């Protein structure tokens, strides 16, 4: 699914999360690794189980519940947000979902929850499953629509019928879930601006509360990239990709959506967004952190729309550096306001909160330290409830601040000037770079914030790379 980023880990000796002292956990991510087919652009950790063998869904669910219980013994788990991604979480059988949700309830994980999202492939949604999810506390669904054009779905080797999306939305409404996201991909080979607009028409007709629109990325070692190398398909041109991104921004603004992150839009909700647009000085604590993103570290500005940004959530983590999990100072941004229709779970990533990831390939972040579960379902089941981990990292302070800048600038509100003054010394070359980027109108200072300009949005990856 779109919100997941792929693992490319170097396996290290496990440094299990249980070595971290009890922590305040803002968010939980659960990774369900099963898919019924591998989409050709996808490099997320997901498996298509052979049809001629018993699948491992039961064993996986047992292991996931065991990991949940284990972590609940280590930490005070009263999350504000839970996100179940994949893979295809809606491929998990309904009876297994019932077991999982019951365990979560028994552990008190739902007590403080404001947002509980499950990613869904429209083809796998059934009334029975959705009612089970809704009864179990799920209040938000993220549907992987990607496109409503059969040719473009075919190019992506995305196996669903466009009609399955409105059918799934009807099932959500029947179960009382009206808060849902639609994922869309643009800049698909052969896609025209008109076709993109038709995708937006179809998406908006379903009245989503949230849209995630990502430009197609040709990830290494995917069938799509192989086809490109063989000359069977070509990426859309850079200029058209920019036009598409500009069109999405304009159209969704006209349609009443708040563009709150480079690739994410939330339906405006009575002006709440304006109230929460600031990161106040006294709300900034002091603790390193960072979320890994798949941003390319280009040295020079490149003329391109921003690449697939996602919050690089929990099944992603950068290469291993450190395994010291001792407490460290806090530079987190404040916990986001939960009244808007922004994805609160992803806001937790972008504002550098603590989260734990469960399931194979799921990444965790606690007070600036990151690691991930090994992307290997067999080992995950075998070693339950303490799966092998990899990619332990704690960034050195300078890089850590760079990561926080990257996260902050991805949000349209940007970074507060106070935060910048506190964390970037005047003699840091980045202060000079910021001024240069302001001079060429790529960044702008408001009274309270530093943020990308509308022009800067199109060069976001390159601008951010200069400040890492
Ligand atoms: S459904 Fe999502 S996770 Fe599964 S193969 Fe397709 S893009 Fe990857």
pLDDT tens figures, 297-326: 222 343 344 444 334 444 433 232 223 333
Rounded CA gap, 96 and 62, in Å? 9
On whether residue 468 sits in a domain, the answer given is no
Question: Measured from the CB, is residue 86 less than 6 Å from ligand 1?
Answer: yes
Q: What is the pLDDT of residues 118-167, one digit of tens each?
A: 999 999 999 999 999 999 999 999 999 999 999 999 999 998 899 999 99
Q: How many CB atoms neighbour CB 32 within 10 A? A: 27
Q: Select from 314, 316, 295, 346 the least CA-distant residue to 142.
A: 346
Tell me the sheet residues that pair with 450.
Answer: 415, 445
Res 272: pLDDT: 53
Question: What's the pLDDT at 331?
Answer: 54
Residue 370: strand, helix, or coil? strand
C-beta of residue 336 within 8 angstroms of C-beta of residue 276:
yes
Nearest by Cα to 136 from 177, 182, 77: 177
Ligand 1 contact via 87 beta carbon (within 6 Å) = yes
**82-128 pLDDT, tens digit each:** 999 999 999 999 999 999 999 999 999 999 999 999 999 999 999 99
Residue 44 Cβ contacting ligand 1 at under 6 Å: yes
Q: Containing domain of residue 208, as a range?
A: 19-396
Place of tokens 């005047």: 426
CA 37 to centroid of ligand 1, rounded, Å: 7
Report the nearest atom of ligand 1 relative to the CA of 121. Answer: 1
Atom of ligand 1 nearest to the CA of 41: 7
The answer to whether residue 283 scores a pLDDT higher than 90 is no
Q: Report the SS3 class of residue 173.
A: helix
Cβ of 32 below 6 Å from ligand 1: no
Q: Is the CB of 42 under 6 A from ligand 1?
A: yes
* Cα 122 to averaged position of ligand 1 atoms, centre (Å): 12
Distance 34 CA to ligand 1 centre (A): 9
Residue 15's SS3 state is coil
Q: What Cα–Cα distance (Å) separates residue 416 from each residue in 265, 283, 405, 411, 449? A: 21, 11, 10, 11, 4
CA distances (Å), origin 30, targets 27, 84, 88, 258? 10, 5, 11, 27
The yes-or-no verdict on residue 377 having pLDDT over 60 is: yes
**Burial bucket for residue 444 (CB in 10 Å: 0-12, 13-18, 19+):** middle
The single residue listed with the structure tokens 């990856």 is: 461
Query: Does residue 419 lie in a domain region?
Result: no
Using CA atoms, how far apart are residues 418 and 315, in angstroms rounded to an integer?
32
In a domain, residue 411? The reply is: no
Q: How far apart are CA 327 and CA 283, in angstroms?
A: 19
3-state secondary structure of 96: helix
Residue nearest to atom 8 of ligand 1 (CA): 42
- Give the CATH number for residue 392: 3.20.20.70
Residue 466 lies in a domain: no
* 376 Cβ below 6 A of ligand 1: no
Residue 274 has pLDDT above 80, yes or no: no
Task: Report CA Rg, the chain.
Answer: 21
**Ligand 1 contacts CB of residue 375 (under 6 A):** no
For 102-122, letters b (16+ CB in 10 Å) and e give ebbeebebbeebebbbbbbbb
Q: Quick check: 196 and 186 in contact, CB under 8 A?
A: yes
Q: What is the pLDDT at residue 160?
A: 86
Residue 132 lies in a domain: yes
Residue nearest to atom 7 of ligand 1 (CA): 1
Domain count for the chain: 1
At 21, is the pLDDT very low, low, confident or very high (cuts 50, 70, 90)?
low
| CB under 8 A, 24+ apart: contacts of 191-194 | 191/147, 191/149, 191/152, 191/236, 191/244, 193/240, 193/243, 193/244, 193/247
46 lines ligand 1 (CB under 6 A): yes
pLDDT beyond 60 at 189: yes
Pairing relationship of beta strands 369-373 and 363-366 according to DSSP bridges: antiparallel
User: From the CA of 359, how far away is ligand 1's center (Å)?
Assistant: 16
Global pTM exceeds 0.75: yes
- Coil, strand or helix: which one is 66? helix
Q: How confident is the model at residue 371 (pLDDT cuts 50, 70, 90)?
A: very high
pLDDT score, position 30: 98
Token digits of residue 463: 């601008």
Q: Please indicate whether residue 182, judged by its CB atom, sits closer than 6 Å to ligand 1.
A: no
Nearest one of 137, 63, 59 to 98, comparing CA atoms = 137
Question: Per the structure block, which two tokens stand in for 127?
Answer: 């009334």
Evaluate: CB of 39 within 6 angstroms of ligand 1.
yes
Which of 35, 147, 216 most suits a substitution to test ligand 1, by most atoms within 8 Å of the C-beta?
35
Q: Which of 122, 136, 119 is nearest to 169 (CA)?
A: 122
């Amino acid at each position: 699914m779109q919100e997941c980023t792929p693992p490319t880990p170097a396996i290290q000796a496990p440094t299990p999360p249980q070595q971290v002292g009890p922590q305040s956990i803002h968010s939980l991510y659960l990774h369900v690794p099963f898919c019924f087919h591998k989409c050709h652009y996808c490099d997320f950790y997901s498996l298509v189980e052979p049809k001629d063998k018993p699948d491992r869904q039961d064993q996986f669910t047992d292991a996931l519940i065991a990991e949940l219980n284990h972590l609940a013994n280590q930490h005070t788990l009263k999350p504000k947000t839970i996100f179940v991604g994949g893979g295809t979480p809606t491929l998990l059988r309904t009876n297994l979902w019932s077991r999982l949700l019951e365990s979560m309830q028994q552990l008190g994980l739902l007590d403080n929850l404001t947002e509980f999202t499950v990613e869904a492939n429209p083809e796998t949604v059934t009334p029975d499953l959705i009612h089970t999810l809704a009864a179990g506390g799920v209040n938000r669904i993220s549907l992987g629509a990607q496109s409503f054009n059969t040719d473009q779905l075919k190019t992506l080797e995305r196996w669903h019928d466009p009609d399955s999306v409105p059918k799934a939305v009807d099932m959500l409404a029947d179960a009382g879930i009206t808060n849902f996201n639609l994922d869309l991909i643009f800049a698909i080979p052969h896609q025209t601006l008109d076709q993109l607009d038709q995708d937006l028409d179809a998406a908006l007709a379903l009245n989503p509360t949230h849209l995630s629109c990502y430009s197609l990325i040709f990830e290494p070692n995917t069938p799509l990239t192989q086809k490109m190398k063989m000359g069977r398909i070509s990426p859309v041109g850079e200029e058209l990709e920019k036009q598409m991104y500009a069109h999405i921004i304009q159209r969704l603004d006209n349609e009443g959506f708040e563009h709150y992150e480079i690739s994410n839009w939330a339906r405006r909700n009575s002006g709440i967004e304006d109230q929460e647009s600031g990161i106040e000085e006294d709300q900034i604590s002091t603790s390193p952190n960072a979320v890994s993103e798949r941003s390319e570290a280009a040295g020079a500005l490149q003329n391109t729309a921003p690449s697939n940004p996602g919050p690089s959530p929990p099944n992603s983590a950068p290469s291993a550096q450190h395994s010291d999990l001792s407490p460290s100072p806090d530079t987190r941004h404040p916990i986001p306001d939960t009244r808007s229709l922004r994805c609160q779970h992803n806001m937790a990533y972008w504002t550098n909160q603590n989260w734990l990831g469960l399931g194979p390939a799921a990444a965790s972040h606690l007070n600036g330290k990151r690691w991930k579960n090994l992307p290997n379902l067999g080992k995950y089941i075998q070693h339950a409830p303490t799966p092998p981990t990899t990619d332990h990292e704690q960034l050195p302070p300078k890089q850590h601040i760079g990561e926080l800048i990257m996260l902050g600038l991805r949000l349209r509100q940007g970074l507060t000037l106070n935060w910048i003054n506190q964390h970037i010394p005047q003699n840091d070359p980045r202060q000079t770079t910021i001024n240069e980027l302001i001079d060429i109108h790529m960044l702008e200072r408001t009274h309270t914030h530093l943020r990308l300009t509308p022009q800067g949005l199109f060069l976001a990856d390159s601008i951010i790379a200069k400040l890492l």
